[in-house]
A and B are shown apart, each in its own frame.
Chain A
Amino acid sequence: MEIVLAIVVGVLYTVSVYLMLRRSILKFIIGLIFMSNATNLLVFLSAGLVPGSPGFIKPEGVAAETMADPLPQALVLTAIVIGLGIVVFTLALKYKFFELTGTDDLDQLKQTDS
């Protein structure tokens, strides 16, 4: 299964880079989201895949050997939330940019004055 998911990660990265190289700012933002997702999945996979055994501890003792590693999950959780912050802010910025310049073309960003 790891191989299949690794391919998924690769495809997500390919799509995100392709989108980020577009001139349209909207596509750029979508590319950003894909990149964030791909990276989250990559970090998540690095812990190994453990189906059906989440990181829950019973009061009476330490859990079994096969339990999923909680640390990458904590990292990814933070990353997802920060990713949301970035995307939302970029979207708002893009909206303002369009409002001021009336274009969606990144190449028009060369001038500093609107």
Chain B
Amino acid sequence: MLHLLIVILIFSFGVFLMPGKMKKYNAIVLSLVQAGAFLFFLTRVPDITNLTFGHTLIEWIPQLGLNIEFVLDGLSMVFALLVTGIGALVFLYAGAYMKSYTGTNKFFFYLMLFSGAMLGLVLSGNLIQLFIFWELTSVLSFFLISFFHEKESARKAALQSFYITGLGGLSLLAGIILLGSVVDSYSLTEWLANPQAIQESKLYLPGLLLILTGVFTKSVQFPFHFWLPEAMQAPAPVSSYLHSATMVKAGVFLLARLNPVLGGTQEWIYIITLIGILTMLTGSYFALTQTDIKGILAYTTINALGVLVLLLGIGTRESIMAAMLFLFIHAFYKATLFMIAGLIEKKTGTREINELGGLVKYMPVTFVIALLSLLSMAGLPPLLGFLGKELIYEAKIQSPGIASVVLILGVTSNIFMVAISLFFVRKVFLGKYKTTNKVPNEKGFAFLIGPGILALLSLLLGLSPSNLGDAVIKPAITAVSLENVEIKLKLWHGFNQVFFMSLFTIVAGSFLFVAMLKSKKLMNAWRKFNSIVFSIQFEQVFAWILEKFVMVSTMKEKAVQHGYHRYYILTIFAFTSILLWVQFFYTQTPMQEINFTLKPFYISGLAVVIILVALASAVLRSRIVTIVAMGVAGYGIALIFLYYSAIDLAITQILVETLTIVMFMAILQRLPRFAVLSSKATRLRDFSIALVFGTIMTFITLKAINVNLNRPISDFFLENSYTRAYGENVVNVILVDFRALDTLGEVTVLTIAAVGVYLLLLPKKNKL
């Protein structure tokens, strides 16, 4: 499986290396790679059906629980087949669709990389690894949405989707780490082995909420649903692949993946069911009043994702089966419809539903394909969608506690779906032909092959669903619910409760459709109604929050980064003193007995002199006196070094001090006098801060005396100074022998400083 990902990676970079003439075969080559991957997974299906799972483990940082793990079980298989299968068709379609644009190399590179990331995500057996792939898909989605980056709306939409999914991704990571700390592992196998420990831990609820936030943002659940319609700025293949068939299903995948670990609790069932219902209704309701065909499809996608999340929230065996089947159904019809929408846009130049009509005359094959898909979306027999809807109704009947509510809302949402499907067919393909900018045609075999195959699958699998059920769906259910199940999928369920609900849905949907079609006034009034009642648009709220966030951080930035050098220093010293004082009282180690003595007196006298000249240099106004005072203090310190057995220090100090004074004197002539720049109050404030700092430093010095943390090191130097380095002066031996590299560094620093000084003091020849 790892090899497969590497192959995809190589081919995605290979796009750039294709010689000029071969460029037009890019899409076909990539499509073949995808098809190859699809076949690879297909050959593994028998294994999966027999419940033998593939597992690869590569140790990366095992100490931290970070390993590269790939798992191919029933659930991964469902998604892997979708990613590669639809991938192959989408690439074929994209080859035709993208022909007229520049920058297709980049486009195919991103798209191929995305398919690799998505495949990596669904095959991940380690949750940190899963997170990395998860974020990769977000990033690539960003690049693909902003493919037409000259358009401001595309850039904005890309940013918005990236902010939301990125935020969700971080939340997901936090959740994984939180719950990972319970079982002390990020390996999926470990998690699956200890659901009890995780669910009983105190961290369960926060962890669950964090992970769910990630899931909901990625799978465009309410209230994060608004990024998907905006993301329709992307080219059609992207909408078809990322934003309907694969990436937005990553959240659903994660829910299914973690169902055995986190599922089954009250919190899980109620939160997920509620969000799922809200999303389902929001999606189907707003789909009705859209006028952009891609907008309609985006909202119906939101509806479908709501249904999937709802089904996983219910969590019974039937609902999981329905969810797994619905994954296929939705991918088949929605990917198709997005490709058809792209084709219509290409051929007519518009996506507005009111500007389209009567296309059946010009695009008969497209019409048949779209019809099959839309009927599947509406849930009409004999298509796969019908079967899916029946199963979903059955599952909803079983939802715990609030079955009747779930069912009523579910039927309502499906009525909307039937109406919008019929509306789509009628408005776009039937009725009178409206003149568009271009005369539509359906030339281009590549445009239709992908949608055609998918629509055909909707029909064929609808007629005989049992193969799909046994081969793929059964092991997937086993992976999600960890129990062996026998399932029988068939199209016709007999005249039962569910059938009558379906019948009611279709009839009511048709009525709604007729009403929508007949009365333009109704639609307009409805749109107006929506714009008043739902006047709070989530995308605007989001934009508002973002704007305020930037404003607040600008204010903070201005307050903290004011640009006054001395206030930075003041802050540093004030804060350091506070920290030191706190630590000083906090540690309370007994101070060593030190007797106060003024002997020897000449050193005491020297100390007094140093103190006096230091104070003088702080307050005096004359520059020369200040510098001389500074020099006296420096020489005084040199004498202290000399008395207390540090001859080398004394020599160095005297040399350095002399040099400094000479430097000062040299440039003093060119500098202005000291001006009185600050007021008395300022000086008092500065003095207090300085005093607080100085006092704590005195105490620290007293504490530090005789601490001697480094005695063993010193002993080593003393012992080896002569025997190994043949030097009697231990300080010198340390500098030039034991720590010679440090001294080399020091020399380097001095050299750099010297070069810097030289360049600064060069007489300026030409002004910059």
Residues of chain A at the chain B interface (Cβ within 8 Å): 1-24, 26-27, 30, 33-34, 37-38, 40-42, 44-59, 62-63, 67-74, 76-78, 80-89, 91-93, 95-96, 98-99, 104-107, 109-110
Contacts and interface: CB of A to CB of B under 8 A. Distances in A.
B734 A74 contact: yes
Interface in B590-625: 594, 596-600, 603-604, 607, 610-611, 614-615, 617-618, 623
B750 A85 contact: yes
B704 A45 contact: yes
B690 A15 contact: yes
Given A3-B596, A30-B626, A92-B757, A37 B735 contact: no
Contacts of B266: none
B586 interface: no
Given A30-B626, A42-B701, A74-B735, A51 B607 contact: no
A18 B708 contact: no
A33 B659 CA distance: 13
Contacts of A92: 756-757, 760-761
Interface stretch (B22-30, B83-91, B254-262, B561-569): B561-569
A50 B645 contact: yes
Contacts of B689: 17, 21
B581 interface: no
Interface string B692-723: 01110111111011111011011001110110
Would you call the interface of chain A mostly helix, strand, loop, or mixed? helix
B656 A80 contact: yes
B649 A73 contact: yes
Contact of A12 (B614, B644, B664, B686): B614
A24 B674 contact: yes
A48 B718 contact: no
Given A1-B603, A10-B701, A88-B663, A69 B714 contact: yes
B53 interface: no
A92 to B, nearest CB: 4
B296 interface: no
21 contacts: A8-B607, A11-B615, A14-B690, A15-B615, A22-B566, A24-B675, A34-B630, A34-B633, A40-B649, A42-B701, A42-B704, A57-B721, A59-B728, A68-B646, A70-B730, A71-B713, A73-B731, A74-B734, A80-B653, A88-B660, A92-B761
Contacts of A4: 598, 603-604, 607
A41 B660 CA distance: 18
Interface of B: 563-566, 569-570, 573, 594, 596-600, 603-604, 607, 610-611, 614-615, 617-618, 623, 626-627, 630, 633-634, 637, 640-641, 643-649, 652-653, 656, 659-660, 663-664, 667, 670-672, 674-675, 677-678, 686-687, 689-691, 693-695, 697-702, 704-708, 710-711, 713-714, 717-719, 721-722, 727-731, 734-735, 739, 742-743, 746, 749-750, 753-754, 756-757, 760-761, 764
A91 B734 CA distance: 31
A32 B267 CA distance: 61
A73 B596 contact: no
B82 to A, nearest CB: 55
B753 A76 contact: no
Given A17-B693, A37-B634, 12 more contacts: A13-B697, A21-B570, A37-B637, A53-B645, A63-B718, A67-B645, A73-B648, A77-B652, A84-B656, A85-B753, A95-B761, A98-B670
A49 B607 contact: no
A57 to B, nearest CB: 5
B643 A51 contact: yes
Nearest to B634: A37
Enumerate the 8 nearest inter-chain pairs by beta-carbon distance, A residue then B residue, closest first.
A14-B694, A10-B698, A68-B645, A17-B690, A85-B753, A18-B690, A70-B730, A55-B730
Contacts of A89: 753, 756-757
Contacts of B646: 44, 54, 68, 73, 76
Contacts of A44: 641, 644, 646, 649
B649 A48 contact: no
Contacts of B671: 26, 95, 98, 104
Contacts of A14: 687, 690-691, 693-695
B718 A70 contact: yes
A21 B574 CA distance: 11
Given A10-B701, A15-B690, A33-B660, A1 B757 contact: no
Given A1-B599, A15-B617, A45-B705, A77 B728 contact: no
Contacts of A30: 617, 626-627, 630
A91 B633 contact: no
B701 A78 contact: no
A81 B597 contact: no
A34 B664 CA distance: 14
A30 B761 CA distance: 20
Contacts of B660: 33, 84, 87-88
Contacts of A37: 633-634, 637
B708 A7 contact: no
Contacts of B690: 13-18, 21
A22 B677 CA distance: 8
B153 to A, nearest CB: 36
A78 B743 contact: yes
A28 B390 CA distance: 82
A1 B706 CA distance: 13
Contacts of A104: 671-672, 674-675
Nearest to A105: B677
A10 B731 contact: no
A96 B753 CA distance: 15
Contacts of B656: 80-81, 83-84
A78 B749 CA distance: 11
